Amino acid sequence: MPIDPPLSNSLNDWLEYIDSINPKTISLGLDRVKKIKDLCNLNPDFPLIIVAGTNGKGSCCKFLESILYQAGFNVGCYTSPHLFNFNERISINKKLLSSDLIVDSIKYIDDSRENILLTYFEITTLAAMDLMIKENVDIAILEVGLGGRHDAVNVFEPEISLITSISLDHQDYLGDTVEKIGYEKAGVFRKNKHAIINFDNPPSSVLGYANDISANVSIIDTDYKINCKHENFDYIGTDRSEVELPYPSIQGLHQLRNIAGVLRCIELLKINFDIKKEAIVNGLLECNLRGRLEILSQNPFVVVDVAHNPEAALCLYNFISKYKNKGRVCAVFSILEDKSIKDIVGLFINLVDEWHISKINSKRAMPTTKIINAIRSCKRDAIIYNSDNLQEAYMNAYEKSSLNDNIIVFGSFYTVSECLIQ
């Protein structure tokens, strides 16, 4: 049952309240959201970049934010989910907004919605836009939460839409094939606006939709590309190229593909945004994003990553295989119920020596019995330790590890946050 609006100004109380309004975690269709958007007069007069995709969305958003900030623009950025605090989702000029400001905007949306049921994500998306309008940003970057076509972010009109990747995830909502998922994600494209396809072999559903609406399509390795060198890399675009750019501090070769799409956005913003090479260089170097191949320690080698689907897990597997110490590998792992656990576990089954698991603290968590069964189905004699919580699982793995060993923490945003929270 929905609870009453809180009397306090506590952000946590308000988040609990809006989570109770709509019994559905996800409600497809944008009519409700559009109505509240119009009632609240949320009509931004600044350009928007919408970023969709299975993996890489958050990284692309943060690279864009960092570069545009370094170029001197007042930039808003909205991403999800968060690792530790909701405030991480909304930033202006790379700074998190206060809880009081966020609550004021949530209250405004809630007061305006009358009896229309909105989900947690729909309310917070509208609140984020309200905050960006109030802060008078020059440009905003919006990360799609799920899919694209029916996502709350898609009630706004982008100048540029970027799809980072497409693979199987959230099949219950988006479809059980890459073609179906691609069609849903292509819903962020707009007629006569820039549509960037930043991955190889795009499904025909994506290309077909883009052509049907006459979007201005850019495809990686056709209209723009990255050339990697030993100490730096080059970006080669249609009208702009930059040579000898520094590799970012965020780990992983897949980030260079994300950066290719980001730099295509920067190139296409050329008419109204003067972005010098220096801003690109500093933006790449100053961009930080927790939980993405984040190295916490070298001895033992400890890496945390929010990888929660097979595509992201493969990037993590390749990274660990290349850079790990010579000792044992311990995995601290848990995952949500709707994920393809066998496809993820199977990648690591011959790499990991010990599994340290616990149930995520969420109603969407996969039971530990199911996790154990999935690991055992891949390797009957796998060594598995089941802890009361994920922080205990992480500490057990750490205490058992020598300086030459390795620990990987992965499976979900929740897994990383629960292991690292103080």
For residues 331 and 198, state if they share a domain: no
Mean pLDDT of the 402-422 span: 92
Q: What is the DSSP string of 20-49?
A: HH-S-S----SHHHHHHHHHTT---SS-EE
For residues 251 and 146, state if they share a domain: yes
Confidence of residue 80 (pLDDT cuts 50, 70, 90): very high
Domain-ending residue, one of 256, 286, 316: 286
Residue 251 has pLDDT above 90, yes or no: no
Instruction: Tell me the three state secondary structure of residue 63.
Output: helix
For residues 37 and 133, state if they share a domain: yes
Q: Count how many Cα atoms sit within 13 Å of the Cα of residue 410 in the half-sphere of its side chain.
A: 31
Domain-ending residue, one of 234, 267, 286: 286
Residue 258 has pLDDT above 80, yes or no: yes
For residues 237 and 322, state if they share a domain: no
Q: What is the pLDDT of residue 422?
A: 56
Mean pLDDT of the 279-303 span: 95
Q: What is the pLDDT of residue 168?
A: 56
Q: What is the pLDDT of residue 170?
A: 46
Mean pLDDT of the 7-20 span: 92
Q: What is the pLDDT of residue 4?
A: 80
For residues 311 and 258, state if they share a domain: no
Between 167 and 27, residue with greater pLDDT: 167
How far lies 205's CA from each of 141, 164, 190, 224, in Å? 25, 15, 15, 21
Inside any domain, residue 1:
no
3-state helix, strand, coil in the chain (%, to 5): 40, 20, 40
* Max Cα–Cα distance, the chain, nearest Å: 61
CB atoms within 10 A of CB 3: 12
| Residue percentage of the chain with pLDDT more than 70 | 96
By DSSP bridging, strand 75-78 and strand 354-357 are unpaired
Inside any domain, residue 373:
yes
Inside any domain, residue 6:
no
Mean pLDDT of the 59-80 span: 97
Q: Which of 329, 352, 349, 353 is nearest to 341 (CA)?
A: 349
- Domain assignment of residue 144, given as a range: 11-286
Q: What is the pLDDT of residue 174?
A: 56
Inside any domain, residue 2:
no
- Average pLDDT over the chain, rounded to whole? 92
Q: What is the pLDDT of residue 27?
A: 60
Give start and end residues of each alpha helix (H) in 239-276: 254-268
Q: What is the pLDDT of residue 176?
A: 61
Mean pLDDT of the 335-357 span: 93
Domain-ending residue, one of 238, 261, 286: 286
Mean pLDDT of the 371-391 span: 95
Q: Count how many Cα atoms sit within 13 Å of the Cα of residue 45 in the half-sphere of its side chain.
A: 4
CB atoms within 10 A of CB 191: 10
By DSSP bridging, strand 95-96 and strand 90-92 are antiparallel
Inside any domain, residue 270:
yes
Between 27 and 416, residue with greater pLDDT: 416
Inside any domain, residue 163:
yes
Inside any domain, residue 159:
yes
- pLDDT tens, residue by residue, 99-123: 999 999 999 999 999 888 899 999 9
For residues 229 and 348, state if they share a domain: no
- pLDDT tens, residue by residue, 170-227: 455 455 688 888 888 999 999 999 999 999 989 899 999 999 999 999 999 999 999 9
Q: CA–CA separation, 59 vs 79, rounded Å?
A: 10
Between 2 and 94, residue with greater pLDDT: 94
Confidence of residue 330 (pLDDT cuts 50, 70, 90): very high
CATH number at residue 323: 3.90.190.20
pTM: 0.93
For residues 237 and 211, state if they share a domain: yes
For residues 304 and 270, state if they share a domain: no
CB 108 within 8 A of CB 100: no
